[in-house]
Amino acid sequence: MDDEQLLRYSRHILLPGLDVEGQEALLRSRVLIVGMGGLGCPVALYLAASGVGELHLADDDTVDLSNLQRQIAHGSADIGRGKVDSVAESIHALNTDICVVPHSVRLSGEALVEAVAGVDLVVDASDNFTTRFALNRACYTARKPLVSGAAIRGEGQLSVFDFRREDSPCYRCLYHEADDAALNCSESGVLAPVVGIIGSMQALEALKCLSGLGEPLVGRLLLFDGINMELRQLNLRRDPACPVCS
């Protein structure tokens, strides 16, 4: 790191367990964030601010007025723009050192496999089971850590599936069926700070996995109730009948 980077990341470097070595690991890291909505916006901004060197952003959607209630990397002037372009601009305004690799498409098939293979960690900030299941399989095959988060109404959940570890369950161990008719924000609503809280936690777990700081949320599911301000944890184990990791 040069002197400017030492100053920029000085509050990280002061942390026991992170220090210079951990920050340098972040600077070398490449992360794919799938979804530039309510979860993906805080993930992208916090990873950029933290010095994750290369951020791959994936989303085929454009910014809509209704997004601005919670998707904090977009502004009123971005309405109609591609979400990836909007977030990339916000990242560069925050930290010009970050390399942004845009994917203004819905990643699937071979393109998804290649995108996952080209990074060190994946953050699932998507909003449908089809994408979540495809990401889970691609990350399991490539042995890449997957940080998964979701939020609806006043509630959220978070887990880490680290396929570098033999004991880690996968997303399919938790959810067995794909149901894209399930609750979504456009029909059920979502309290704005809830996605920010879950997205920030996803960024935190990604930083931990990349730097070796602390113990990531592997084998555990964190449940957040923002209305009553309650947190719960459930233990997760590998499903011996899982179609992906069994």
Higher pLDDT, 58 or 186: 58
**194 part of a folded domain:** yes
- Per residue in 26-56, pLDDT (tens digit) is 999 999 999 999 999 999 999 999 999 999 9
Rounded mean pLDDT of 11-21? 96
CA dist 70 to 19, 82, 84, Å?
Answer: 33, 17, 16
**CATH code for the domain in which residue 214 is found:** 3.40.50.720
The answer, yes or no, to whether residue 16 has pLDDT greater than 70, is yes
**16 part of a folded domain:** no
Say what the pLDDT of residue 179 is. 56
The answer, yes or no, to whether residue 244 has pLDDT greater than 90, is yes
- Per residue in 161-201, pLDDT (tens digit) is 999 998 999 999 998 876 555 566 767 789 999 999 999 99
**242 part of a folded domain:** no
- Count up the domains in the chain and report the number: 1
What's the mean per-residue pLDDT of the chain?
Answer: 95
- Per residue in 98-122, pLDDT (tens digit) is 999 999 999 999 999 999 999 999 9
Say what the pLDDT of residue 189 is. 86
**23 part of a folded domain:** no
Rounded mean pLDDT of 68-90? 98
d(CA 126, CA 37): 8
SS (H, E, C) 126-159: CCCHHHHHHHHHHHHHHCCCEEEEEEEECEEEEE
Parent domain of 53: 30-235
